[in-house]
Structure 1
Amino acid sequence: MSEKTVLNPITNKCDILFLFDVVDGNPNGDPDAGNRPRQHRVDGDMRGFVTGECIKRKIRDYVLRKVEAGELPADKYDIYIRPGKPLDFKCQEMAKSIGIEKLDKKGQKEISGKEKDKELHDAMCARYFDVRTFGAVNTLFSDTAYSAAIRGPVQVTFCDSVHDIEPERLTLTRCVATKDNEDEKNRTMGDRWIVPYGLYKGVIRVSAEVAKKTGVSADDMSLLIEALEWMFEEDQSAARGLMTMRKLVVFEHSTARGKAHLSSLMDTVDVKLCNGMDAPSRYEDYEVGVRGELLPPNVKMHVVV
């Protein structure tokens, strides 16, 4: 995909700030800690956090559901990182579709940095929504200059809870035996971690300059924001409890490289506890305000939620 073939390319840098909360659920468990909700737990810092990879997974799943429902064309909005065919198989299919048959080290070095390598890079970006937005590391193309590692313009940070969280471990009992030879009184014990309440803040940064290289369009940006707004509604699970997007603000700069520091943009969304409150247990315990008067010049604010 060459730059001139991109429809409605984004030309301005964007920053996205969002707040979401969880009630009696596990927003992002740590498999190395018995699936305990992720928490800093260093030097008295007991804030929880959700990884950027977790947020990207929810965005991917939202887009994929729209593709599978026929609402988006698969040849433009397919998802690269998902269960199913191995990644190397997808890479092989993509290479063959543009006439590359030799993918051994010698064949890759012959095209590395040349037009065919760029064509392969652009073909990956053109088909897969998550490749052109988040980027990808394609190990099968490790000896190419352009296709081995595609840098994405959409960078998702960790989401930290606004205040400390207190995870709880629940013990569960199953009332049915697993095997025929088990006594009916035998009960299987299990456990599940939850966060009784936590309000989390996340930031996403979008580079217009990198977006030109991968072909991210204004339509892709609209889909990304739509996915952020609705991803928790489409990702319901008893283990995750009740997760809700509470605030979603998009900051659009007037240039490709930006006109304001992120810190000044974050100051426009004020989050504080209500008077007399020190242990929040629900969203209503917070006062969340958007202070447009603090917005730096040459930056537009779009309050989505």
Structure 2
Amino acid sequence: MTEPIKNRYDFEIIFDVENGNPNGDPDAGNMPRIDQETGLGLVTDVCLKRKIRNYIEAAKEDTPGYRIYVKDHVPLERNNREAYKYLGVDEKKIKEAKKKDADIDLKIRDFMCENFYDIRAFGAVMTTFVNAKLNCGQVRGSVQLDFARSVEPILAQEIGISRVTVASEKEQEDGKHMMLGHKFIVPYGLYIAHGYISANLARKVTGFSEEDLALLWQAIINMFENDHSATRGTMAVRKLIVFKHESELGNAPAYQLFERIKVEKKEAEKPARAYSDYTVTVDDTDLPTGVTCIQMI
């Protein structure tokens, strides 16, 4: 792996959804997530990280150093066990191993960081709790995302759907000829999410590198391109605006940089139904000393 990054980054992702459900809430019948006080739409950080993981898994296909720790149908303890096997440690005798090698916990953690991209990026709690002895520690990731929030209140619509068949012979015998259902959509919504990348954590813990960073930008830009479905409608990343700091700890507060990005609707009284209904501007003049602005798209 290459050297850890040396610069702090703050970034803003602007993405939209058309006739789809960007992030259903299982506690509300899979309705699009909404801030109940403001009516603004929400997309969780977990949802966005899943899209990034899926892209990297598809792009790298288990290339050494770029495997994904949190993935479908793979028990976490199976991945945890790889570190123990690599270091020749019997998980049932971990206490004895620690007495012989005081750094064994760090070696296990470092193995996981080196082999799994999403641990380097997002961190992980690598204790399954099912098997307390199989513990690979806890890592705070270099890359953090917050919840995405829509620019305007969203109107979630419930759409009735039908299927011209039934599920069983019994239902057909009872005279049923179709199945009825429903799904929720947002006719249009423009969302903003903020992200933060710590060079300090990369150096001290995760080893998140320049190569990892380039892959992250690629994954964010394309995170919806291989994830299309009828449920999610049309989703696309419209803008990725990055503020690069000269130093490891940063040269300006993130909120001051994000305030330079303005998203405004062209016609205030007209419902937005496309990205072209908005104007996005970035004030990159007189940036704080040591900060540069890069518009990836």
State whether structure 2 residue 137 is matched by structure 1 residue 153.
no
Greater shift, 278-287 or 256-265, is seen at 278-287
CA drift at 1:103: 4.0
Cα root mean square deviation, aligned? 2.1
Three-state SS of the structure 1 residue aligned to 2:220 is helix
**Distance in 2 separating the partners of 1:167 and 1:109:** 54
* Residue of structure 2 equivalent to 1:301: 293
Percentage of identical aligned residues = 37
State whether structure 2 residue 204 is matched by structure 1 residue 200.
no
State whether structure 2 residue 111 is matched by structure 1 residue 123.
yes
TM-score, normalising length: structure 2: 0.92
Q: What amino acid maps onto 1:64 in structure 2?
A: E
CA drift at 1:18: 1.1
**Distance in 2 separating the partners of 1:27 and 1:294:** 36
Superposed CA deviations along residues 37-62 of structure 1, whole A, max 9, x for unmatched, are: 000112xx100010000000000000
* Residue of structure 2 equivalent to 1:133: 121
**Distance in 2 separating the partners of 1:196 and 1:115:** 54
2:27 aligned residue (23, 32, 37): 32
Q: What amino acid maps onto 1:176 in structure 2?
A: T
Q: Cα–Cα, structure 1 residues 97 and 284, in superposed 2: closer, same or farther, change >3 Å?
A: same
Greater shift, 157-166 or 86-95, is seen at 86-95
* Residue of structure 2 equivalent to 1:163: 152
Three-state SS of the structure 2 residue aligned to 1:76 is coil
Report 1:183-198 matches (<5 A): 183=172, 185-198=176-189
Q: What amino acid maps onto 2:120 in structure 1?
A: R
CA drift at 1:84: 2.8
Q: What amino acid maps onto 1:160 in structure 2?
A: R
8 A contact 1:50–1:159 mirrored in 2: yes
Unaligned runs of 5+ in 2: none
Q: Cα–Cα, structure 1 residues 143 and 255, in superposed 2: closer, same or farther, change >3 Å?
A: farther
Q: Cα–Cα, structure 1 residues 174 and 260, in superposed 2: closer, same or farther, change >3 Å?
A: same
* Residue of structure 2 equivalent to 1:3: none
Q: Cα–Cα, structure 1 residues 32 and 182, in superposed 2: closer, same or farther, change >3 Å?
A: same
**Distance in 2 separating the partners of 1:294 and 1:36:** 43
1:268 aligned residue (230, 240, 260): 260
**Distance in 1 separating the partners of 2:288 and 2:92:** 50
2:77 aligned residue (88, 96, 111): 88
* Residue of structure 2 equivalent to 1:291: 283
CA drift at 1:104: 5.4
**How many correspondences in the alignment?**
292
8 A contact 1:30–1:37 mirrored in 2: yes
Q: What amino acid maps onto 1:250 in structure 2?
A: V
Superposed CA deviations along residues 129-165 of structure 1, whole A, max 9, x for unmatched, are: 0011100101158979x94211111111000001100
Superposed CA deviations along residues 262-295 of structure 1, whole A, max 9, x for unmatched, are: 1211122211111444532221211111221153
8 A contact 2:24–2:31 mirrored in 1: yes
* Residue of structure 2 equivalent to 1:52: 45
Unaligned runs of 5+ in 1: 1-5
Q: Which runs of 4 or more aligned residues in structure 1 lie more than 6 Å from their structure 2 counterparts after TM superposition?
A: 141-144
8 A contact 1:166–1:196 mirrored in 2: yes
Q: What amino acid maps onto 1:297 in structure 2?
A: T
8 A contact 2:80–2:136 mirrored in 1: no
Q: What amino acid maps onto 1:41 in structure 2?
A: Q
CA drift at 1:110: 3.8
